[in-house]
């Protein structure tokens, strides 16, 4: 990402009419201006898209990454691209009262109380009505300061001042091992953020140093997709939590993992919001994966993503009704799940016509995908045959695959026994 320094404001990048009489600082300023002269281009960037999607969803985000990889520069460019005034606050150099408010004694404290005055940067954000509040070096903030940040991050309140809806909050942090006198984030503060791992992309850095950086743009939400996006997100999250109630709230036992994403009712609500936004924007599964795993953690996030894949699978009953026109997923795991679902549907309501249709589907799967994916479904489907059901001719094409797979399994088992015996 591009870098910006305060010295840029000291020079316009132009020299006096007579360059021979220009001071060396003027010449240096002109050179620095040329070095900072960069453009942007629309370029696919999964990290940047995930960040802008979370910003659009008005969720606090923290970028985790090693020093010097462009976290601060990315947020500077993001604020410029979105036309948001950037307010940078380094939490570690502030006192807790800077975020909870400074007590100011009025004319009659006993009657009016003691108001908590906000800092100047918060007042400027309210006056602007919008902005990007950048909490830099968050992992260097001591526990007392982190506690004071809780209300700011969640409720957007500083003392008695309420930040306007147009303010977005983004933080940046280095891992404790590479932070200057770093701390782990407290679990209550960590659970209020979407955690994005920020890494450098070799091609982006090379092209950026050549003068062209990726352009940050807000996602294009399709108004026609909004109701369906909300319904899809609710079905996905509620379906997983109904089947896995232990995932509703799971506070990690490890201190380091407590400072990252973990599942709670709050973070599941954030996840639901992000799925709806990603669906309405037509974002890729890679972007959604970064956001979901950055909100509830890798384990619960991957379970949810697997559930999302299955929600997109075709209905087994629709496949049984028209096996000749069935379109099966290309991905092996999804195709296996579809075939297993078809066999389970036949098991639930065993009828000769449905049994024959399932065999037709397995033949179609054999012709269009990996043969080994049909072995287990074919074996199970064969066990469902009734005595008065004729064996369809299509089974002949599958018999060789099943027989070959069984011989391969037996050979592998013999090899494993031989290996164990040789030890």
Predicted confidence (pLDDT) per residue in 76-91, tens digit:
888 888 889 999 998 8
pLDDT tier, 8 (very low <50, low <70, confident <90, very high otherwise): very low
3-class SS of residue 84: coil
Q: Are residues 55 and 169 in the same domain?
A: yes
Reading the block at residue 221, the tokens are 């939400």
Same domain, 163 and 299: no
pLDDT tens digits, one per residue of 185-236 = 899 999 999 999 988 888 888 888 888 888 878 888 999 999 999 999 999 9
| pLDDT over 90, % of the chain | 30
Domain boundary among 214, 243, 262: 214
User: Comparing C-alpha atoms, which of 98, 227, 88, 112 is closest to residue 169?
Assistant: 88
Cα-to-chain-centroid distance, residue 209:
27
Q: Which of 279, 311, 343 is the last residue of a domain?
A: 311
Q: What is the pLDDT of residue 16?
A: 59
Same domain, 85 and 129: yes
What domain range is 28 assigned to? 1-37
287 shares its domain with 402: no
CA dist 63 and 71 (Å) reads: 7
Q: In a 3-state reduction of DSSP, which class is residue 169?
A: strand
Q: Which two tokens stand for residue 36?
A: 């900072």
Tokens describing residue 416: 């494993």
Q: Where are the alpha helices (DSSP H) in 156-297?
A: 187-190, 202-209, 226-243, 255-258, 265-281, 285-296
Helices first, then strands: H and E counts in the chain: 19, 11
Do 179 and 325 fall within a single domain? no
Closest of 313, 337, 228, 334 to residue 275, by C-alpha = 228
Residues 27 and 50 in one domain: no
Do residues 291 and 312 touch, judged by C-beta distance below 8 A? Answer: no
């Amino acid at each position: 990402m591009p870098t910006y320094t305060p010295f840029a404001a000291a020079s316009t990048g132009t020299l006096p009419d007579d360059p021979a009489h220009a001071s060396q600082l003027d010449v240096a300023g002109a050179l620095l201006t040329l070095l900072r002269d960069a453009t942007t281009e629309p370029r696919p960037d999964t990290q940047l898209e995930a960040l802008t999607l979370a910003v659009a969803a008005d969720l606090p985000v923290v970028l985790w990454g090693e020093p010097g990889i462009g976290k601060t520069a990315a947020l500077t460019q993001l604020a410029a691209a979105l036309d948001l005034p950037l307010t940078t606050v380094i939490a570690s150099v502030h006192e807790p009262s800077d975020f909870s408010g400074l007590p100011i004694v009025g004319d009659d404290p006993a009657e009016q109380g003691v108001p908590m005055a906000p800092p100047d940067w918060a007042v400027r954000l309210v006056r602007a009505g919008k902005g990007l509040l950048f909490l830099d070096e968050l992992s260097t903030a001591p526990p007392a300061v982190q506690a004071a940040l809780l209300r700011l991050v969640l409720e957007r309140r500083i003392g008695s001042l309420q930040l306007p809806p147009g303010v977005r909050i983004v933080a940046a942090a280095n891992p404790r091992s590479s932070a200057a006198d770093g701390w782990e984030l407290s679990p209550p503060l960590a659970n209020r953020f979407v955690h994005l791992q920020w890494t450098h992309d070799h091609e982006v850095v090379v092209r950026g140093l050549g003068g062209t950086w990726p352009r940050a743009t807000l996602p294009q939400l399709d108004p026609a997709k909004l109701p369906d996006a909300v319904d899809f997100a609710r079905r996905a999250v509620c379906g997983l939590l109904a089947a896995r109630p232990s995932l509703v709230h799971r506070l990690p036992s490890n201190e380091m993992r407590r400072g990252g994403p973990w599942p709670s009712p709050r973070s599941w609500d954030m996840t639901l919001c992000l799925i709806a936004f990603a669906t309405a924007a037509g974002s890729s599964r890679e972007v959604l994966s970064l956001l979901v795993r950055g909100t509830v953690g890798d384990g619960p996030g991957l379970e949810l993503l697997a559930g999302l894949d299955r929600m997109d699978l075709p209905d087994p009953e629709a496949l049984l009704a028209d096996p000749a026109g069935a379109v099966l997923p290309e991905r092996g795991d999804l195709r296996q799940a579809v075939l297993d679902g078809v066999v389970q549907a036949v098991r639930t309501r065993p009828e000769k016509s449905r049994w024959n249709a399932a065999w037709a589907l397995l033949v179609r799967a054999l012709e269009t995908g990996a043969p080994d994916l049909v072995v287990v479904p074919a074996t199970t489907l064969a066990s469902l045959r009734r005595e008065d059901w004729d064996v369809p001719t299509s089974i002949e094409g599958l018999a060789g695959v099943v027989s070959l797979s069984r011989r391969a399994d037996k050979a592998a088992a013999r090899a494993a026994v031989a290996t164990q015996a040789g030890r």
